[in-house]
Amino acid sequence: MLSPTDLILVCVMPSPRDMELARLLGWYRIPFRTAPKVVSVDYLAFYQPSAFGSRGGKIEFIAPVYGHELATRAEILRDEADHPRAQEEYFKIQLGALEKLPNSVMAKKWKRLTFLYTTGEYLLNAETLNDLVVKNDERKLLWKSLRERAESEQLYKTDLPDVELDPTVLMALLGINKFEESDDE
């Protein structure tokens, strides 16, 4: 469940079809060339534009973020292999189940939105998109958290055990038939 300290990325859910993809398949896509600097957040909040008809102009749903990968649009949307941007790279964000907010966040005066960082506390207390904008000293804390996420995202992590491998097993795994020692030793 959403906590006050969670990092949230508010993004546009272009169409009801995209909402169904997020709900059923558990992912959301962001074009790499227009993506925000940090996508390692705790939750995505989905702004629904006018394409949603009477349900447009607000944020109704959020989803926890489990990870992301880089893929081409053709790899993500296999039924759109002929799309003009099929070979462009996208972030494919892996999501948990969509969660309905207790109260929708209305757009009011905002007519356009691409991406907006906020926190769980702001999202839980917001009535309008304007209420999501982090101000003053809290803004510095938000940017510090985002910077830390960006830095930790660049670290390569493995959960591999420290184990000595028998050279013959390693040779078999690598497809090496014969081991020759060099004269340098």
Q: Return the domain boundaries, the chain.
A: 7-153
User: How confident is the prediction along the chain (185 residues), in pLDDT tens digits per residue?
Assistant: 889 989 999 999 999 999 999 999 999 999 999 999 889 899 999 999 999 999 999 999 999 999 999 888 888 888 888 888 888 898 999 999 999 999 999 998 877 788 999 999 999 999 999 999 998 888 888 888 888 887 876 554 445 455 666 667 666 666 666 655 555 54
* Token output for 145: 């958290």
Q: Judge residue 161's burial from the number of C-beta atoms within 10 Å of its C-beta, 0-12 exposed, 13-18 middle, 19 or more buried.
A: exposed
Specify whether the CB–CB gap between 119 and 5 falls below 8 A.
Answer: yes
Specify whether the CB–CB gap between 176 and 61 falls below 8 A.
Answer: no
Residue 158's pLDDT is 46
Nearest-angstrom CA–CA distance, 156 and 135:
33
CATH number of 7-153: 2.30.130.30
Query: Among 46, 44, 45, 96, which residue's Cα sits nearest to residue 66?
Result: 96
CA angle 55/59/86 to nearest 5° reads: 85
Question: Looking at residue 166, what DSSP letter applies?
Answer: P
Rg over alpha carbons for the chain, rounded to the nearest Å, is: 22
